[in-house]
Chain A
Amino acid sequence: MSAIIISTLMSGILLGALYALMASGLSLIWTTLGVFNFAHGALMMIGAFVAWTVSEAMGLGIVAGLIAGLGVTAILGIVIEFLLIRPFYSKPNVLLITTMTTLAAMIILEKSAQMIWGARLKQLPRMIEGDVSVLGAVISAQEALIIVLAPLVLIALWQFTSRTTVGRSLRAVGQNQDAAALIGINVPMTFALAFGLGAALAGLSGILLGSIRFITPGLGAEPLVKAMIVVIFGGLGSLGATAGAAFVIGMTEAFLILVVGLYWTPFLLFVFLIAVLVFRPTGLFGKV
């Protein structure tokens, strides 16, 4: 019995780590630009496919694949910002318009992937082989890597946005665009940087996901919804709240799967979320 609890706990932590990584990119873009990037899931998928192409189809190895995946998603992020976000900043209903343009970007990326890579299932090789035993529960070394890597990336991101000048300028622009411009921050450049970084985070989550699941053009769709649940639940305001919410959702999901089964879990998760929203309309930790 305790073995089941521990393995459920481990899968909860794994889910939480993945969700935290996905949601951090969304949260970064939201706090800096005030835009919700619906193409986030599609960028995850592109990251995984590019990594697969470079490491498997071209045979250059997983490290090259990882670099290529991150590079391509970062560039795509900057392109999306330039073409689909930047022209609409001054519009009063920028939120609604960018929702639609990023939704359009999602369709374009997903359908392009379908045409380029086809519908056949692909999988990335594991970065490390073997299994790891934690308190009697066995998980693959790849999953353990994700559990360790995700918090490290989040800490690095947190250090970046709170310690470095460039990182702080992201937050400054997020808090007050005009004041940031007045003290000499290049606002358009910062927007591009935030979007590129957020997209690269999507790419990283996609590559990690692609090493434990099959890569399909729809790879990002279901995780996007989970990441959305995380950010609704945690509020979009801060990185810490988003990461906390990710682990709460991951853990809840893992235990719900244990108790009510895989079929009813998404449904109950959503009922739980609605209940939270009815009583706390800005999310559990949020204050927008």
Chain B
Amino acid sequence: MKRNLFLVLSLAVLLLVPLFVLDSFTRHLFILAFIYAIIASNWDISLGYCGVFNFGHMTFFATGVYTTAVMAKTFGINPWLAIPMGGATAALVALIISAPVARLKGIYVVLVTFAFSQLALQLILSQSQITGGAEGMVRIPSLSIGDYKFTRDYKLGYYYAALGLLTCSTIFLLWLSQSPFGKSLQAVRDNEDYARARGISITRQRVLALVLSAVFTGIAGGFFAVYLRVASPEVLSFSTLSLALSMVLIGGAGTVIGPIIAAFVLIFATEAMAGIRGMEEMRFIIVAVGMIFVLRFTPGGLVKLVSGKRT
């Protein structure tokens, strides 16, 4: 209950933020934080809840980014429709990758998912007539309702759209984590043999965990492309991967709120560092070192350290 109160209060505060934050750069950081919060908290379904060593989560995000970019720009489909399409294709990609992953164990899962994301990157770079290659795609149509463009009033529309998306995603994750299905995922993670003995199909739960974790991630990817009006292979870089992964870790794998809070902290921290000269590369080193320290000293993530809960 305390958690739900915290969430409702946070939502109320975030709804009021645009009243006080009027410059578009700070709002831009909030929007980025909302998007990364969706990535990190959904990644946690496979990595934290189900114990699938999935290191290819950014592939789902990139799938959303490029689906929406191609649909909206090349085929001229309305961005409002193109964004959910990103979620659908991301789920499809997750289904494909889950075929080998559900059968593999341990390190092989890490290797296949990691290699998969790198091959997605190769594919994006090589199919430049569709994806724009290393330069990416620019001038993707942006969101508007009627004549009202979402970039107006210092990105006010985008701020609320991103917050709405994060709210939907979080409600979905909270529902999922408390449902019998969510519990069965944790059973698969904690004791495979026992879960199997209770009639849970390990393979099916792993496939479902991956597919469900891709839906909101893909939608967030589509939103990201439309918001920035750019689709770039940068989303599959090691820097982006380590940033998102560190959110899951620092926030605490196996919790819904942890990665969301960590996304806010890390986006604002890294963007603040990016403003300092000579820190553009250094900030990723600092994030990586932070990740190591959390793994070393507070394995449950900082949220568990604060709440003192051991689950």
Q: A107-B242, A281-B105 are in contact. Are A96 and B53 (CB under 8 A)?
A: yes
**Range class of the A interface residue count:** 35 or more
Tell yes or no: A181 within 8 A of B by CB: no
On chain A, the residues within 8 Å of B126 by CB distance are 262-264, 266-267
Q: Mark B226-248, 1 if CB is under 8 A from A, else 0.
A: 00000000000011011001000
Q: Mark A97-124, 1 if CB is under 8 A from B, else 0.
A: 1011101111110111011000000000
Tell yes or no: B295 within 8 A of A by CB: yes
On chain B, the residues within 8 Å of A282 by CB distance are 108
Interface 9-mer from B66-74, B165-173, B213-221, B279-287: B279-287
On chain B, the residues within 8 Å of A110 by CB distance are 238
Interface 9-mer from B115-123, B255-263, B269-277: B115-123
Partner of A101, one of B105, B118, B119, B292: B292
From A38, A108, A115, name the one whose CB has the most chain B CB atoms within 10 angstroms. A108
Q: Find out whether the CB atom of B122 lies under 8 angstroms from the CB atom of A108.
A: no
On chain A, the residues within 8 Å of B55 by CB distance are 99, 103
B293 to chain A: closest residue by CB: A104
Q: Find out whether the CB atom of A228 lies under 8 angstroms from the CB atom of B111.
A: yes
Q: Find out whether the CB atom of B281 lies under 8 angstroms from the CB atom of A111.
A: yes
Bound complex: CA A103 to CA B240 (Å):
12
Q: Find out whether the CB atom of B291 lies under 8 angstroms from the CB atom of A104.
A: yes
B238 to chain A: closest residue by CB: A107
Bound complex: CA A192 to CA B82 (Å):
52
Q: Mark B52-64, 1 if CB is under 8 A from A, else 0.
A: 0101000000000
Q: A221-B238, A278-B100 are in contact. Are A87 and B296 (CB under 8 A)?
A: yes
Q: Find out whether the CB atom of A108 lies under 8 angstroms from the CB atom of B288.
A: yes
B296 to chain A: closest residue by CB: A87
From B107, B119, B126, B241, name the one whose CB has the most chain A CB atoms within 10 angstroms. B107
B277 to chain A, nearest CB (A): 13
B41 to chain A, nearest CB (A): 18
B290 to chain A: closest residue by CB: A104
On chain A, the residues within 8 Å of B296 by CB distance are 87-88
Q: Find out whether the CB atom of B285 lies under 8 angstroms from the CB atom of A111.
A: yes
Partner of A225, one of B103, B115, B123, B291: B115
Q: Find out whether the CB atom of A266 lies under 8 angstroms from the CB atom of B122.
A: yes
Tell yes or no: A9 within 8 A of B by CB: no
Tell yes or no: B161 within 8 A of A by CB: no
B243 to chain A: closest residue by CB: A107
Interface 9-mer from A70-78, A127-135, A229-237: A229-237
Tell yes or no: B112 within 8 A of A by CB: yes
Bound complex: CA A90 to CA B103 (Å):
27
Q: Find out whether the CB atom of A278 lies under 8 angstroms from the CB atom of B99.
A: yes
Partner of B281, one of A95, A114, A236: A114
B55 to chain A, nearest CB (A): 7
On chain B, the residues within 8 Å of A83 by CB distance are 292
- Complex interface residues of chain A between 63 and 94 (CB less than 8 A to chain B): 83-84, 87-88, 91
Q: Find out whether the CB atom of B295 lies under 8 angstroms from the CB atom of A100.
A: yes
B192 to chain A, nearest CB (A): 14
Bound complex: CA A110 to CA B296 (Å):
22
- Complex interface residues of chain B between 119 and 158 (CB less than 8 A to chain A): 119, 122-123, 126-127
Q: A101-B295, A103-B245 are in contact. Are A225 and B285 (CB under 8 A)?
A: no
On chain A, the residues within 8 Å of B100 by CB distance are 274, 277-278, 281
Q: Find out whether the CB atom of B295 lies under 8 angstroms from the CB atom of A263.
A: no
- Complex interface residues of chain A between 249 and 288 (CB less than 8 A to chain B): 262-264, 266-267, 270, 273-274, 277-278, 281-283, 288
Tell yes or no: B266 within 8 A of A by CB: no
A41 to chain B, nearest CB (A): 10
On chain A, the residues within 8 Å of B106 by CB distance are 95, 288
Shortest 7 CB-CB distances between A and B: which pairs?
A: A104-B288, A263-B126, A225-B118, A107-B288, A266-B122, A277-B100, A111-B281
Interface residues of B (CB under 8 A from A): 53, 55, 99-100, 103-108, 110-112, 114-116, 118-119, 122-123, 126-127, 238-239, 241-242, 245, 249, 281-282, 284-285, 287-289, 291-292, 295-296, 299
A-B contact pairs, 22 of them (CB 8 A): A30-B107, A103-B55, A103-B241, A103-B242, A104-B288, A105-B288, A107-B242, A107-B288, A108-B288, A114-B281, A228-B114, A229-B115, A263-B126, A266-B119, A266-B126, A267-B126, A270-B119, A274-B100, A277-B108, A277-B112, A281-B108, A288-B105
